[in-house]
Copies of this chain bind each other. A is one copy, B any other.
Amino acid sequence: MTKPTIKDVAKMANVSISTVSRVMNSPESVIENKRNQVLAAIEKLKYKPNALARGLIYKKTNTLGVVIPDIRNPYYADIIRGMEDASKKLGYNLIICNTDRDKKRLFSYLHNFYERQVDGILYTSDPIYPDYYHELNRLKIPVMLVSTHSMEYELPSVKINDEQAAYDAVKFLIDSGHRKIGMIGFDLTDSIAGLTRYHGFIRALREHDLDECKNNIVYVNGWSYDTPDAAAKLMEKCPDVSAIFTVSDELAMGLLCYLHEQKISVPEQISVIGFDNIRLSDIMIPKLTTVAQPTYEIGYRSVEKLDAAIEGRDDPILREYLPHEIIVRASTKSLD
């Protein structure tokens, strides 16, 4: 089942591996007799000089490495689709690695990318901690931050403005007449999707004299598995909320499930707004009002931008922010 390697060619031609390599790379440096033996062996074994060999010779492997924190989260699916379409257009292959938010696993994949000489790395969604930065920097491979950014380091990025998007979601609820608003958020140690969206929530409250809502928050550290619990905690903490902002659509789905079980009807008794606009948000019960991230475009644009970096083209915008949008469906209602 194994295919012929350079070793097999060397053995059949009765020469050293480096001679085979020289025949492929600089045939003029090998005497004719040996060269013919090697070529005959290559022919006979149908040995094919491959991308590995070419990667050694040319600088490009036409491959981009993608690290994502959790393949189970459907949010990444559309980003990856965007990355793939741009990669196809620009002649790259994508290799996707799932880090499970595990630092060891991340570093192991980064090391693997280095060894495989990927042309660039798409680092998705997680914050850049100092040791991550040093590791990425050490590799000397162009990096693009996708759906994350870094204010500390000079790394290019593509994402939405999370603070503004959360602000807009909460302002939408306020503009719909809600005055008692709660939030299920990501832990504040998550500087990308946790702290920023919290800030947006707080700013919307403050600008509308609703500071009394600022403690109506429950934090989760993961995704929807925790949601029914988080929802229960939130309803215990502030049973009189008329609207809840959740920082992901999966959290919203868990919340809808919990409220349904408690016989609290959405949106009649409580309005729910999600975040992301994953595909399934359109078949939830009720259909989910949410903040649409341009996920496909984030993926697509990040590959275009990374390609520019790889090719050394000028890219005037270091940290790029794409527009978000409120999608109004059936899970929210106006109190006015």
A residues lining the B interface (CB < 8 Å) = 1-3, 5-7, 16-18, 21-22, 25-26, 29, 48, 50-57, 59, 63, 71-72, 74, 77-78, 80-81, 84, 88, 93-98, 100, 105, 108-109, 112, 114-117, 139-142, 224-225, 227-228, 250, 253-254, 256-257, 260, 279-280, 283-287, 309
Contacts and interface: CB of A to CB of B under 8 A. Distances in A.
Contacts of A287: 257
A59 B2 contact: yes
Copies in the complex: 2
B16 A18 contact: no
B80 A225 contact: no
Contact of A52 (B5, B52, B71, B80): B52
A95 B98 contact: no
B56 A227 contact: no
Nearest to A80: B71
A112 B93 contact: yes
A26 B22 contact: no
A166 to B, nearest CB: 23
B117 A50 contact: yes
A98 B54 CA distance: 24
Contacts of A52: 52-53, 55-56, 115-117
Contacts of A57: 6-7, 17
A225 B279 contact: yes
Contacts of A260: 285-286
Contacts of A55: 52
Contact of A18 (B21, B77, B112, B140): B21
A80 B74 CA distance: 14
Most interface-central of A18, A116, A256 (chain B CB within 10 A): A18
Contact of A115 (B50, B84, B139): B50
A253 B280 contact: yes
A93 B108 contact: yes
A53 B56 contact: yes
B228 A59 contact: no
Most interface-central of A21, A112, A141 (chain B CB within 10 A): A21
Given A2-B59, A285-B285, A72 B74 contact: yes
A280 B114 contact: no
A112 to B, nearest CB: 5
Most interface-central of A7, A54, A93 (chain B CB within 10 A): A93
